[in-house]
Amino acid sequence: MKARYGLDLFYHKRKTFVIKFIIASFAIVFVTLFSFIFIKFIGNKFFKLDSVDSMYKNWSLHTEDGYKSVYNSASRILDENPYHNAALAFLGYSSFMLAESETDNIKSQELLDKSIFSLRKAMHGCKKDTLPQIQYMLGRAYFYKNKVSAYHYYADLVVKYLSLAVSNGYKSADIPLLLGLSYASLGETDESIAAFTEALLVRETDTLLFNIAKQYCNNGQESVAKQYLVRVMKISQNEDLLDDSHILLGQIYTSEGNFSDAEKEFNSILEKNQNSADAHYGLGVLYEKKGDNIKARSEWRKCLKIQFNHKGALKKMSEL
What span, in angstroms and rounded, lies between the C-alpha atoms of 247 and 265?
7
> What pLDDT is recorded for position 24?
54
> What pLDDT is recorded for position 170?
97
> pLDDT tens digits for 82-121?
999 999 999 999 999 999 999 999 999 999 999 999 999 9
What span, in angstroms and rounded, lies between the C-alpha atoms of 317 and 39?
76
- On the question of a common fold for 49-141 and 238-320, the answer reads yes
C-alpha dist (Å) from residue 213 to 210, 218, 240: 5, 9, 16
What span, in angstroms and rounded, lies between the C-alpha atoms of 299 and 250?
15
Per CATH, is 238-320 categorized as 2.160.20.10?
no
> What pLDDT is recorded for position 50?
65
Residue-range domain boundaries for the chain: 49-141, 238-320
Per CATH, is 49-141 categorized as 1.20.272?
no
Length of the chain in residues, anyone? 320
> What pLDDT is recorded for position 26?
57
Task: Name the pTM for this structure.
Answer: 0.80
Mean pLDDT for each 10-residue chunk of the chain (320 residues)? Answer: 46 51 56 52 47 92 96 95 95 98 94 98 94 98 90 90 98 97 96 97 96 96 97 96 98 97 97 97 97 97 97 93
What span, in angstroms and rounded, lies between the C-alpha atoms of 122 and 131?
9
